[in-house]
Amino acid sequence: MNKATPCDRFDAFRIHSDASGYRAGFERIGLDDLTPGNVTVRVAWSSVNYKDALAATGRGKILRRFPLVGGIDLAGHVVDSSDARYRPGDAVLVTGCGLGETRDGGYAEFARVAADDVIALPAGMTLRETMILGTAGFTAGLALLRMQQNGQHAGLGPLAITGASGGVGMLAVAIFARAGYSVHAISGKPEHADFLRQIGAIEVLPRTTLPAPSRALESVRFGGALDTVGGPALTTLLACCAPYGNVACCGLAASAALDSTVMPFILRGVSLLGIASTDTPHVQRMAVWQHLASDWRPHALETVATRTIDFAQLPGVFAGYLAGQAFGRTVVRVAGDA
């Protein structure tokens, strides 16, 4: 694809739903075709998340308006800004904040974003590294921030992570381990056990570790947890969490249901923390990214990046995500000279 300037029309992966049906593909558009924003970014890197695959194929009701450029993550350089915090040439990133849902996202050579959603590139990180983390890594980091704000510490015991072979789970393993916690990764994919140990898991446990509990409280097994799957697994984590530990919930890969009792809360002081990464306040966003660039920065960050693709290859990756064949993080080189 050709290198564009802000004055040109440029390539974007755009999604439509109208009388002609649901469709997505590359188009040539201009800045005026993008949703408004007071910071214009030349996108260098993006990433692929399960949510992106759902949006691109129409398999999930992700987009709230059409047409829209896909991609919930982006990183690049400012080319224009009406906000004094950002100047042309600044390296920045945006994750979530409605990108690829209510606003045009990162699958375009240029993006217009709200200044309050922009994070300056943290010292010591590259733009590509921020997209290895992306929304998945930010979600894991936000969970740890909220857990620690609510008193979580390594002395409470190991942290369990469900769905540990998925994007959020995998990065949570690496981030929590780097932050000094003993991590027990729970996964239904035993073939990934060695990989999970390589990136920081002390124990790798099968999905059957968390059957539906038979009692309101089970023997204490974990100091806290990050749950990405919901349903019986979340119920069991609450029932076996240590007193005053935290269980952070960020997903529903198995079920949106929660069948529990108040017993973990009133007898052990367990806290259930909801992790909603899309609309996180800017101050918290900055705090998470500063940690991810320093004391929580995974040692195995490049190991997690199992695939790098060029922008033109993007349409070919979504089917694999929906079929459960994707493993690790896929980063997208949007700019040829990124």
Closest C-alpha to 10, from 102, 91, 97, 76? 76
Residue with tokens 């990433």: 47
- Taking the C-alpha atoms of residue 109 and residue 337, their distance in angstroms, rounded to an integer, is 12
pLDDT at 195 over 60: yes
pLDDT at 7 over 70: no
Whether residue 150 is found in the same domain as residue 258? yes
- Taking the C-alpha atoms of residue 105 and residue 220, their distance in angstroms, rounded to an integer, is 43
68: in domain = yes
pLDDT at 9 over 80: yes
Compute the average pLDDT of residues 153-163: 98
Going by pLDDT thresholds of 50, 70 and 90, the confidence category of residue 155 is: very high
Question: Taking the complete model, does pTM exceed 0.75, yes or no?
Answer: yes
- Determine how β-strand 39-48 pairs with β-strand 73-81: antiparallel
Percent of the chain with pLDDT over 90: 92
The residue out of 274, 309, 325 marking a domain boundary is: 274
Whether residue 80 is found in the same domain as residue 114? yes
Model pLDDT, residue 5: 72
pLDDT digits 0-9 by tens, 282-299: 999 999 999 999 999 999
- Residue-averaged pLDDT of the chain: 95
Whether residue 29 is found in the same domain as residue 96? yes
Q: Residue 220: which CATH number?
A: 3.40.50.720
- Taking the C-alpha atoms of residue 317 and residue 137, their distance in angstroms, rounded to an integer, is 20
Whether residue 180 is found in the same domain as residue 214? yes
Whether residue 153 is found in the same domain as residue 101? no
Torsion of CA 87, 89, 90, 94, to 10 degrees: 100
Model pLDDT, residue 3: 63
97: in domain = yes
Going by pLDDT thresholds of 50, 70 and 90, the confidence category of residue 211 is: confident
- Are 10 and 110 a contacting pair, CB within 8 Å? yes
Model pLDDT, residue 325: 87
Going by pLDDT thresholds of 50, 70 and 90, the confidence category of residue 67 is: very high
Whether residue 326 is found in the same domain as residue 260? no
- Are 291 and 122 a contacting pair, CB within 8 Å? no
The residue out of 274, 292, 320 marking a domain boundary is: 274
Going by pLDDT thresholds of 50, 70 and 90, the confidence category of residue 253 is: confident
Whether residue 140 is found in the same domain as residue 111? no
Of 337 and 239, the one with more pLDDT: 239
Whether residue 84 is found in the same domain as residue 148? no
214: in domain = yes
Q: Residue 77: which CATH number?
A: 3.90.180.10
Going by pLDDT thresholds of 50, 70 and 90, the confidence category of residue 319 is: very high
Model pLDDT, residue 338: 67
Model pLDDT, residue 65: 93
Whether residue 95 is found in the same domain as residue 32? yes
Whether residue 309 is found in the same domain as residue 253? no
Model pLDDT, residue 244: 98
Q: How many domains does the chain have?
A: 2
pLDDT at 213 over 90: no
Whether residue 26 is found in the same domain as residue 63? yes
2: in domain = no
160: in domain = yes
pLDDT digits 0-9 by tens, 31-56: 999 999 999 999 999 999 999 999 99
- Taking the C-alpha atoms of residue 168 and residue 143, their distance in angstroms, rounded to an integer, is 10
DSSP string, 296-313: T--TTHHHHEEEEEEGGG
153: in domain = yes
Model pLDDT, residue 324: 86
294: in domain = no
DSSP string, 184-245: EEEES-GGGHHHHHHTT-SEEEEGGGSPPPSSSS----BSEEEESS-THHHHHHHHTBPTT-
36: in domain = yes
Model pLDDT, residue 27: 97
Structural domain of 224: 136-274
Compute the average pLDDT of residues 152-160: 98
Helix (H) or strand (E) holding 131: helix 127-149
Whether residue 207 is found in the same domain as residue 313? no
First to last CA, the chain: 13
